Amino acid sequence: MIRGILQLKQRVLDEIYPRICCSCGKEITEGDEHGLCWDCRADSVALGPPWCERCGQIVAGRIDHVFTCSDCEAHPPQYHQGRSLFHYEGGVREAIHALKYHRNFSVIPDLSRMLLAGVKTYFPDADGQALVAVPLHRSRQRKRGFNQDVELIRGMLKLDPRLKTWQGLKRIRNTDTQTKLSKAARKENVRSAFAVKKRSSVPERVLLIDDVMTTGATLDACAVAMKKAGVKEVNTLTIARG
């Protein structure tokens, strides 16, 4: 009965505020999708093993043992494990762009649902971890008006209120955009860019949430700051890897 009422409510809302896919522009008339239709989501390639046990980098070929990539062997990341859900392409890429650059908040339920599924798949003991958003510098957040990672975590909490969060991490340096920088330049760009807020009690374990992982430099810099403040273990989860 309750499900029937909710379905009726959704149909009424669809009449007043049609759900439009941010990628193909078609109206969404069925299912739980809000801003990204199922076809466009399916257009994106999901990531899965075999991969590096540390950073989650996909490995070509067959691996029948725990594998650590050469980058992580040479320069071990400060986070314990990093996982990403999709290649940065197709409908997932369009949805991330729609939120980040066009303030299309209709995609938040879709992206948050993906992240929650990732938590349950790759970090099933998440009850013992606090979710943390990668913070923006206050000047950039003031310009953009919101932090997409914070909004995604809020979306996850609506789906599962039992999740724990922590807001003790801050960005203390307004860095240049990472988009066109080399791997080495990215790492240098975010070095010492984050810190834990004063008088902030720290959790033992953290799951750092971000939209996209490229080289992992930003996630690693966040992990450095949190471990320096006393966090014992940092894991990372992103929607996409590009």
For the cut 90, the answer to whether the pLDDT of residue 57 exceeds it is yes
In the numeric block, which tokens belong to residue 137? Answer: 């510098």
- The mean per-residue pLDDT over the stretch 214-230 comes to 96
- Residue 109, amino acid: P
Per-residue pLDDT tens digits for 79-106: 999 999 999 999 999 999 999 999 999 9
Please report which residue ranges of 33-82 form alpha helices under DSSP H. Answer: 38-42, 70-74
Banded model confidence at residue 126, pLDDT cuts 50, 70, 90: low
Mean pLDDT of 40-46: 90
| CATH classification code of 41-241 | 3.40.50
Residue 199 contacts residue 181 (beta carbons within 8 Å): no
- Model-level pTM? 0.90
Helix 148-159 and helix 108-122: axis angle, to 10°? 70
